[in-house]
Amino acid sequence: MYARFIGKKLIGSAGTLAFVVVFNFFLFRVVQTDPVGSMFRGRNVPQDKLDQMRADFGLDESIWTQFFLYLRQTAKLDFGLSYQSRQPVWDEITSKIWPTVLLVGVAAILSAVFGVIGGVIAAWRRGTAADYSITSSTMVFYSMPDFWLGMLLLVGFAVVLPWFPTGGMVDLGADYGWFGSVLDHAHHLVLPCLTLALAYLGEYAIVMRSSMLDVMGEDYLTVARAKGLRDIQVRNRHAVPNSLLPVVTLAAINLGFVLSGAIAVETIYSWPGLGKATSDAIRGPDLPMLQGLFLVFSAAVILFNLLADLVYAALDPRVRPT
């Protein structure tokens, strides 16, 4: 039965991805009918050169010819050449994946860990000052737009208090050696990582708090106390493990959205990842780069949603079809 459940989820995810691939093509053709002309708007570029560029990128073909060529190339992970760098889009994307994975991965771990701890404390001390302070502070950060929170931290801790770099991933031209390079990367990572972690901290805290409050009314906690277990043992051995299921699902789903949501943060801190590449491609406009990035972000969301469904079903057999 679980195998059938997995099969249905895989088919559903494949269908969603196929829709995204088709939508990805027509979206940018509708929004941007002449990307080459938009790139050189206001410049004195000869018409024959513009026509040559359209021919180089296949924009002089009919829309359906472009579509079938796009499908064939996408199947081979060939998204064409970037208008700006004239390099293969896939090479550009793969070169920028690592900085984004580093930033998003560390931020996701920090927000999940501290969000869960905050949610546990808030629920276990419901109605106290600790509950109100944790819930209020995490919701304040959660309600702030990423770019606004990023600018506040940038001004506060890189301009007013010059403790951290204003941008980039490393100090250009510096030769620190292996260990020094790691410290340099970590130094540049602090502010953008803190921005993303604080932005998603409240979500984990409120979900964990709600889940803990539901569990705290269960009979097995009363039985555990009747056996002589202390409150801290009841909480850590019984209440917390049984409250983590919604958080596990939330973490899997959030990874896909945080990946695409890093655009504003990476742009503010000039972090050389997929988010900044998206911002640069929009300003171009760089149609092949935007198509490739949109497809990568969409595939990440679909993949992590699939993982969330599978993990949830594995941890809680009640959600599986009977």
Could you read off the pLDDT of 20-29 as tens digits, one per residue?
888 888 776 6
Whether 36 has a pLDDT exceeding 80, the answer reads: no
Paired with 81 in beta bridges are 88
> In this structure, what is the dihedral angle of CA atoms 291, 294, 298, 304, given to the nearest 10 degrees?
120
Q: What mean pLDDT do residues 105-134 have?
A: 85
Q: Counting beta carbons within 10 angstroms of the beta carbon of residue 204, is it exposed (0 to 12), middle (13 to 18) or buried (19 or more)?
A: buried
| Predicted pLDDT of residue 32 | 60
The single-letter DSSP state of residue 128 is: S
Cα separations (Å) of 191 from 144, 225, 267, 271, 280? 16, 44, 13, 11, 21
Max Cα–Cα distance, the chain, nearest Å: 86
User: Confidence band (pLDDT; 50, 70, 90) for 238?
Assistant: low
Cα separation, 89 vs 289, whole angstroms: 6
Q: What mean pLDDT do residues 49-63 have?
A: 71
Whether 15 has a pLDDT exceeding 60, the answer reads: yes
User: Confidence band (pLDDT; 50, 70, 90) for 174?
Assistant: low
Paired with 174 in beta bridges are none
Q: What mean pLDDT do residues 137-163 have?
A: 85
Residue that the structure tokens 């980039």 belong to: 168
Of the candidates 191, 199, 202, 200, the residue with the CA atom closest to the CA atom of residue 268: 191
Each domain of the chain, given as residue ranges in start order, spans 2-75, 94-316
Cβ neighbours of 215 (radius 10 Å): 20
* b/e code 96-134 from CB counts within 10 Å (16+ = b): beebbebbbebbbebbbebbbebbbbbbbeeeeeebeeb
Could you read off the pLDDT of 81-119 as tens digits, one per residue?
787 777 888 888 888 888 888 888 888 888 888 988 888
Could you read off the pLDDT of 60-82 as tens digits, one per residue?
777 788 888 888 888 888 887 78
CA 81 from chain centre, in angstroms, equals 25
User: Confidence band (pLDDT; 50, 70, 90) for 322?
Assistant: low
The phi, psi pair for 316, rounded to 5°, reads: -130, 95
Cα separation, 51 vs 60, whole angstroms: 8
Whether 1 has a pLDDT exceeding 60, the answer reads: no
| Predicted pLDDT of residue 41 | 65
Whether 321 has a pLDDT exceeding 80, the answer reads: no
Whether 175 has a pLDDT exceeding 60, the answer reads: yes
35 near 83, Cβ under 8 Å? yes
| Predicted pLDDT of residue 290 | 83
Could you tell me the fold of the domain covering 94-316? MetI-like fold (1.10.3720)
Q: Counting beta carbons within 10 angstroms of the beta carbon of residue 24, is it exposed (0 to 12), middle (13 to 18) or buried (19 or more)?
A: buried
Q: Which of 113-122, 150-159, 304-313 has the lowest mean pLDDT?
A: 304-313
Q: What mean pLDDT do residues 196-215 have?
A: 83
| pLDDT, greater one: 186 or 174 | 186
Whether 34 has a pLDDT exceeding 70, the answer reads: no
